Amino acid sequence: MNGDIIFDVIGNTSPFSMMGESSGYMLTVNDCCYLLECGSPIFPSLGYKGIAEIKGIFTSHSHEDHKRWFTDIVQFSYYSPGIRRKVRLISAEPILEEYAKNSKGALERSLSRDSKQIVDIPYESMVEEVPIGPRSKYFINLKSNRDGSYKYEVSDRQGNAVGPDRAKIIINPGANRPRLLYKDDESGEWVEPESYYPFTSSSFYEEDKNVFYDEKAGLTVKALKSSVWHGVPTIGFKFMTETNSLLFSGDTVYKPSLWKELYEEYRPQKFRTISREDFEKSSVIFGEINDFIERTWSRERYEVAVSAYDGSVVIHDVTTRDSAVHTVYEDIANAPINNLLYTHNPDNLTAWRPILSPGKSLVLRNGNVYESVKGTLYPLDADIYIHHFSGDLVGYRSENGAYKVIEKNGLLGIVDADHPEEGLIRVDVYQDVGGEYLPPIIEDPNKYYCLRQDGKVEEVTFDEYTSMGRVVENIRGRIRRQ
């Protein structure tokens, strides 16, 4: 239907998964296809035709598990006779810069057709950068001097230098990466502007929000930064049609209590390696930037962040425990988000909300989200979802269920009903095979389900000498809670 958003999962695991899927999704609206992230095995999933149909790649950040296949896609699109086009890379300006910096080594040199010379190929001839989200008013500029030397300078978009009373560059000798320190006009505090301001702020960002629009698809995409907290420059995306809104969170730490601390906590500056007087007059400082940041988030960023997910189906990263850069399950399990699905998940996770896995196809229709299985749309209505590298299960509440859900240290699990630990609910459990729900055989070492080429599911029973199979029927949509 017009306005439907189709979201196909190619890969969804954390960077440390034993499955090695990483992050990759296909987003389709009115037959217009876009990749969202390209860290998972794109070629075997999409094939030549699928890659040729991609209109662009949305990317949230430059970590390798989100970009691993990028240069392969670029080279394939550039050299393949049937495609021969640039790859459109759609992201915020700092992320586009990171992609260019990290990808040029693999793209910008080749051999001439007779293999006799090394030739240079401009990155811009292979990649079309499409900024989404507003540009900053001020940025770090590597400026050349007349004597051939270079120096870092803070500039505005008109090329004017910004003085040390307003902005400074701080370089940590250990990382050798320049970062911008900026004096906030309203508070008079020194802040790192990329962290401090949301995209809605006119103090640091230009008025043009660089909203992405595909007229043929009827798709509008906005960049989201306020609720995204990951360390490296990272954004989320809000994909919108007339009837649907899908928000992809990007990797982040979802923890509103932490967000509140980030804007409320004032940190006095520490002049351990430089005097206050030298700090005030210096444009470039070598040291630790956190010694000089007085506040991490603005109040505006916090307020925009806590309302960022309202009104959308939300696809959010999740992990189990002790992550500094991803969302811990305990922090988001009871979040006030109506339609929430988990992705970028570990190999073993049990949750009250749906957990994505490769091969799943979601359809957003009229503001609701369904799973498409062989052309039939099913609501995501199970009471519990179990994702394990050996298979996926779902549970429906049942007074006499053979299993029960338990909780320990903020994490959920499934155990037999006669297990001594106190259960939260009793459930009947079903095995999820290609979106079809079947009786569980995951604990039987002599049986397994096989998804056949004709789309039917076969239960295979084997012993030392023989095997036999039978087709089993999908009971999804006919399960009743008791």
298 within domain boundaries: no
* Interval 457-479 mean pLDDT: 93
What is the structure's pLDDT at 337? 95
Q: pLDDT tens digits for 72-112?
A: 999 999 999 888 899 999 999 999 999 999 999 999 999 99
Average pLDDT, the chain: 94
Same domain, 104 and 163: no
Would you state the structure tokens that stand for residue 61, as one six-digit string?
A: 């950040």
What is the structure's pLDDT at 149? 79
Q: pLDDT tens digits for 244-283?
A: 999 999 999 999 999 999 999 999 999 998 999 999 999 9
What is the structure's pLDDT at 442? 81
Same domain, 188 and 277: yes
Q: Which of 379, 399, 425 represents a domain boundary (last residue)? A: 379
% of the chain with per-residue pLDDT over 70: 100
Same domain, 109 and 159: no
Integer angstrom CA distances of residue 64 from 21, 23, 41, 286: 12, 10, 13, 28
182 within domain boundaries: yes
CA proximity to 53, closest of 28, 78, 23: 28
44 within domain boundaries: yes
Residue 143: pLDDT over 90 = no
Integer angstrom CA distances of residue 389 from 19, 196, 386, 393: 7, 39, 10, 11
Quote the DSSP letter at residue 135.
P
Residue 160: pLDDT over 80 = yes
Same domain, 360 and 335: yes
18 within domain boundaries: yes
Same domain, 424 and 339: no
Same domain, 233 and 353: yes
Name the CA dihedral angle for 270, 275, 277, 281, rounded to a multiple of 10 degrees: -90
Same domain, 316 and 195: no
Q: Which of 379, 403, 427 represents a domain boundary (last residue)? A: 379
Q: How many CB atoms lie within 10 A of CB 194?
A: 16
Residue 1: pLDDT over 80 = no
Confidence band of 229 (pLDDT split at 50, 70, 90) = very high
Domain around 285: 138-200+265-291
Q: Kindly report the CATH number assigned to the domain that includes residue 347.
A: 3.60.15.10
Same domain, 353 and 373: yes
Same domain, 73 and 129: yes
What is the structure's pLDDT at 195? 97
Q: pLDDT tens digits for 328-364?
A: 999 999 999 999 999 999 999 999 999 999 999 999 9
482 within domain boundaries: no
355 within domain boundaries: yes
What is the structure's pLDDT at 53? 94
Residue 296: pLDDT over 80 = yes
357: buried, middle or exposed (CB in 10 Å: 19+, 13-18, 0-12)? buried
What is the structure's pLDDT at 351? 97
Residue 2: pLDDT over 80 = yes
Work out how many domains the chain is built from and give that number.
3
Confidence band of 391 (pLDDT split at 50, 70, 90) = confident
304 within domain boundaries: no
Same domain, 418 and 320: no
What is the structure's pLDDT at 373? 96
pTM of full prediction above 0.85: yes
Contact 60, 237 (CB under 8 A): yes
Q: pLDDT tens digits for 405-428?
A: 999 999 999 999 999 999 999 999
Same domain, 228 and 359: yes
Determine phi and psi for 309, rounding to 5 degrees.
-95, 0
Confidence band of 59 (pLDDT split at 50, 70, 90) = very high
Radius of gyration in angstroms for the set of CA atoms belonging to the chain, rounded to a whole number: 25
Residue 444: pLDDT over 90 = no
CA proximity to 294, closest of 262, 335, 322, 266: 266
Contact 320, 332 (CB under 8 A): no
* Interval 211-216 mean pLDDT: 97
Contact 105, 173 (CB under 8 A): no
Confidence band of 294 (pLDDT split at 50, 70, 90) = very high
* Interval 204-233 mean pLDDT: 97
Confidence band of 308 (pLDDT split at 50, 70, 90) = very high
259 within domain boundaries: no
Total residues belonging to the chain: 482
What gap in Å lies between CA 251 and CA 63, rounded to an integer? 10
> Kindly report the CA angle at 102 between 132 and 210, in degrees rounded to 5?
5
Pairing of strands 5-12, 361-365: antiparallel
Residue 239: pLDDT over 80 = yes
Q: pLDDT tens digits for 170-182?
A: 999 888 889 999 9
Same domain, 269 and 158: yes
Confidence band of 480 (pLDDT split at 50, 70, 90) = confident
Determine phi and psi for 357, rounding to 5 degrees.
-150, 155
Contact 197, 203 (CB under 8 A): yes
> Which residues, 6+ apart, have CB-to-CB distance to 325 below 8 Å?
230, 231, 251, 253
Contact 145, 151 (CB under 8 A): yes
What is the structure's pLDDT at 18? 81
